[in-house]
Structure 1
């Protein structure tokens, strides 16, 4: 599925995040995954009889839709009006708009998804009257060159908790968004920094355990490898996009974006991602661990939205050495074995050319052994620095074996302030 693209060795240009329009779904595809029933009453009255469109800058624009700010005449309330063409490329796409309305109805209970207020239908278009998010797209902060406008790590941590809350709600209802990107995540306010609202469900799909769903659509730099390979999509497809989103929000750089679509798709397919960017090196190492447990080629190895919400990086704004052992062990125990073994990172960031095959080799080399809770904690903190504490060859081999097993499953990103107070015999 992915065209060959000439490359010069391992070098790859790092492109600053820029706007990329989503690829529209193939119009000849099967309609599976689309909802067809809605409860919202569709009004056929002229939209402008009830709303005044605010002149000026558009709130957003796509190939077949434009979003404008409007005011309801009766109440004076502000809304975002999404004007959507019913015919696209010569085909009737009204049912896709109905599907988007149905998903918004389904997500009414989530405070992290934009609310649907009303729906109007004219001869050539339909209008979705949506909750107005005054803060605009988080894209604006991601690309800002002004330090005071860019997200801090704590900002990203808070917003990511909210994004995962919304995505977890969708996944619990068997909805995959398929186009999670900074342009589709809005803020209720920009100053002070507000809460997030997930928008644009035009590419979303309902999934089922009874049949597989395959689609090739989404924004190129955010799509998961299984979409490029025309493999079944799942909730894990969204989790890849969240990994890319976290990278972008923390650095302002799109990790897989190439000079063209070919190079972008090749970067995704080969998992060509750098963890040595200056923006990443200044972060809490737990943030890298969070990204790495999502940017995994095999969907089954990625953490779920619920598992991400228990990750140490999102648990607290406190330094990790102050977190309790019970909290971290509980978070790790909730992960499936494949995700547990692959979500932790080595003391040094992996190279930008790491592959899925190399990750599998690491998993095969790591074996879990019966260890006590105390041993797990001590070994996790002595990785690297206390490696030379044993003098005999047999003890060194035993220590190395233990360290491998433990480092696979548990990782404390920050130095342990009380390390010097631990009796030496616990290291063994």
Structure 2
């Protein structure tokens, strides 16, 4: 997902949340890298690549992804065309940061590979590894038994996701937009391996400098994002907990009737572990999610601790063999304890975005767009009403209307 660029002289006004002035070390903005090693080619992109006509792989507000073929080799790639100016602001440095993160992650087979970079007058093109299986979202919500993930599938893929995230965290990178649409598969049948994509919101974190951002996809953002508290690697771990829940059940655990209710569910930790789909799972799977869906970041398990959790270690251990080539796993104590939902703490208000002028808002969340068909809940309305009344837990199926319709300039889901 591509965030809007902040204005150099910020004309946005916030009644509650105000971004701290950007510290300016070697890079222009806090959390952004500014140096890349990849050669930026100035020749016309189409001199070297043929764009495959037909359906785009993905589209967002400021970028589009198309399938292409390298003329000299015949190899297929995904070309990510990114506008350098967004709403009149120069955002080339945000693109440079994304390139730098992809370079940093070259050693991990769980992150999409960057092949080449091209630059034209108005856009830059990132030539990326082509993941033929598409995003895992399709399997998460499939109604067909042969397409939907089994628990064993989820365990294998979750190990791979954690391997990639562990690598990123060891290199002080937080992704900040982990969700099914940003996890791709090398093949869908047979089920391939995962590739983490879309580092448009990623940031570098450090122990000596706090980083606060209001960004992410509403259903996956951690409580500290909503409270404008410091971001850390634990912010990604919350998203992985939500991701595990979605992959196992097809249910978005915190989704409310509107974005305000979604944010309230997150801030109050309103999540149900009593869905019918969860009752069929290994109890260790519930323990795994509960060690991640904790309100306080310091209480969440790390990626390396998750990889040692009994749920992931119970079968298919051969999947961990490839990670040893790329991930220097540190010795840490595994934590598999669970926690109970905490009482309500705070509520937040979402933004109102306009295309032409200053914006007054309390919370900015860069929205991504959920597309596709979903399974219908097998739990009756009466049962859900009783559950909500007794446990104050809100757990709903995905919705497909855009919760931030005012932000949507170009419809579609951006997957690279």
Normalising by structure 2, we get a TM-score of 0.73
Post-superposition CA distance 1:154-208 (Å, at most 9, x none): 0000000000000000000000000000111100000000000000101000001
Change in CA separation of 1:190 and 1:94 when aligned onto 2, cut-off 3 Å: same
Deviation (angstroms), 1:22: 7.4
Please identify, of 203-212 and 29-38, the stretch whose mean Cα deviation from structure 2 is larger: 29-38
Q: Please tell me whether residue 56 in structure 1 is matched to residue 85 in structure 2.
A: no
Q: 1:357 to 1:265 in 2, by over 3 A?
A: closer
Higher RCO (Cα < 8 Å, 6 or more apart): 2
RMSD: 1.9
**Mapping of residues 38-77 of structure 1, within 5 Å:** 38-77=36-75
Counterpart position of 1:113 = 111
Matched, 1:183 2:181: yes
- Alpha-carbon separation, structure 1, partners of 2:233 and 2:343: 20
Q: Structure 1 segments of 4 or more deviating over 6 A? A: none
Q: Indicate if the aligned counterparts of 2:2 and 2:62 stay in contact, CA closer than 8 A.
A: no
Give 3-state SS (helix, strand or coil) of 1:127's partner.
Answer: strand
Distance in 2, Cα, partners of 1:22 & 1:288: 33
> Any idea what SS the aligned residue of 1:162 has?
helix
Counterpart Cα distance in 2 of 1:259 and 1:122: 43
> Is contact 1:34-1:205 (8 Å) kept?
yes
Cα distance change of structure 1 residues 185 and 25 upon mapping to structure 2, 3 Å threshold: farther
Q: CA deviation at 1:356?
A: 5.3
Identify the match of residue 224 of structure 1 among 222, 225, 233: 222
String of CA shifts for 1:248-296, please: whole Å, max 9, x gaps. 0000111111122111111111101111111111100000000000000
1:366-405 superposed matches below 5 A: none
**Residues 22 and 220, structure 1, Cα contact 8 Å, conserved in 2:** no
Change (3 A) 1:26 1:252: farther
Residue among 252, 261, 269 paired with 1:254: 252
Shift of 1:344: 3.1
Deviation at 1:317, TM superposition (A): 2.3
Distance 1:22 1:151, change over 3 A: farther
Change in 2 beyond 3 A, CA 1:106/1:23: closer
Gaps of 5+ in 1: 1-20, 319-332, 359-428
Deviation at 1:35?
0.1
What's the CA shift for 1:334?
A: 4.4
1:314-341 deviations in Å (ceiling 9; x for gaps): 00228xxxxxxxxxxxxxx9447xx56x
Distance 2:37 2:197 in 1: 19
Between the two proteins, the alignment pairs up a number of residues equal to 313
Q: Secondary structure at the match of 2:251?
A: coil
CA distance in 1, matches of 2:297, 2:4: 23
Aligned position for 2:200: 202
In the superposition, relative to structure 1, how do residues 168 and 225 fare at CA in structure 2: closer, same or farther (>3 Å)? same
- Which residue in the other structure is 1:344 paired with? 338
> Residues 139 and 182 of structure 1 are in contact (CA less than 8 Å); yes or no, is this contact kept in structure 2?
yes
Which consecutive unaligned segments of at least 5 residues does structure 2 have?
11-18, 23-28, 317-330, 346-416
The corresponding residue for 1:142 is 140
| Cα distance, 1:72–1:237 mapped onto 2, change above 3 Å | same
The alpha-carbon distance between structure 1 residues 305 and 297, as it changes in their structure 2 partners (threshold 3 A), is same
